[in-house]
Amino acid sequence: MKTTTRQDTRTHLLDTGEQLCLQRGFTGMGLNELLQQAGVPKGSFYHHFVSKEAFGVALLQRYFARSHQQFSAFLAQGDAPPQKRILAFYQQIEQRFRESGDIYGCLSVKISAEVCDLSESMRDALTQGSQAAMATLAATLEQAVAQHGLTLGSSPQACAETLYLLWLGASLQSKITRDVAPMSNALRVFTHLLSPSTF
């Protein structure tokens, strides 16, 4: 018989909470609903998290750590020039949206605007997560400039921020309209910024 550990309980709460947040948003996820869905008593929740806000911070930190690992791994694989890998990463997201009509699993798109005015600590977690993604993009762009002769109209850091913010806005608009067009438009801009004529 398997023994449930404290870490198992914490992970289970985060797994359940993430799914509820993706469905209802953070404020729409009631604590009682979370506990009932997870089958965890209130005392166990407060053993791991001092408040719902602390739970939200842990949720975002885990989400961004996982997303960053996947993003970094994707950009590091294959023999294609770095700028092509960047385009391929976002093209696969657009294709999934085109097929499903939804952005599955993107917690930052779902709750970023919602929590920024409610929780300074959650806003900070969102800031750190987005900065990590932009830093990875910038490093990949630096590699493209140094090793593949990519010409950018701005510094790799500024270009990375432009790409990240453009995609975040396009993703949100695609979610609002349930239309892939904003993502497709963003990809066209990406293709232009990444100078396809150079690779």
Judge contact between 121 and 131, C-beta under 8 A: no
Which part of the chain is CATH 1.10.357.10? 64-198
Residue 103: its pLDDT value, please? 75
CATH of 64-198 among 3.40.462.10, 1.10.357.10, 1.10.1740.10, 3.10.310.30: 1.10.357.10
Q: How far apart are the C-alpha atoms of 184 and 161, rounded to whole Å? A: 19
Which part of the chain is CATH 1.10.10? 1-48
Closest CA to 62 of 70, 136, 24: 70
Would the pTM of this model clear 0.75, i.e. be above it?
yes
Closest CA to 131 of 139, 143, 120, 142: 139
Q: How far apart are the C-alpha atoms of 21 and 16, rounded to whole Å? A: 9
| pLDDT of the chain, 199 residues: tens digit per residue | 344 566 789 999 999 999 999 988 999 999 999 999 999 999 999 999 999 999 999 999 999 999 999 999 999 988 889 999 999 999 999 999 998 877 777 888 888 888 888 899 999 999 999 999 999 999 999 999 998 888 898 899 999 999 999 999 999 899 889 999 999 999 999 999 987 544 4
Residue 4: its pLDDT value, please? 52
Residue 153: its pLDDT value, please? 83
Judge contact between 198 and 148, C-beta under 8 A: yes
- Alpha-helical (H) ranges within the chain are 6-24, 31-38, 42-48, 52-76, 82-100, 107-115, 120-148, 156-177, 181-193
Give the type of residue at 58. Answer: A
Separation of CA 114 from chain center: 15
Judge contact between 129 and 69, C-beta under 8 A: no
Q: What is the dihedral of CA 103, 106, 109, 113, to 10 degrees?
A: 140
State the CATH class of domain 1-48: mainly alpha
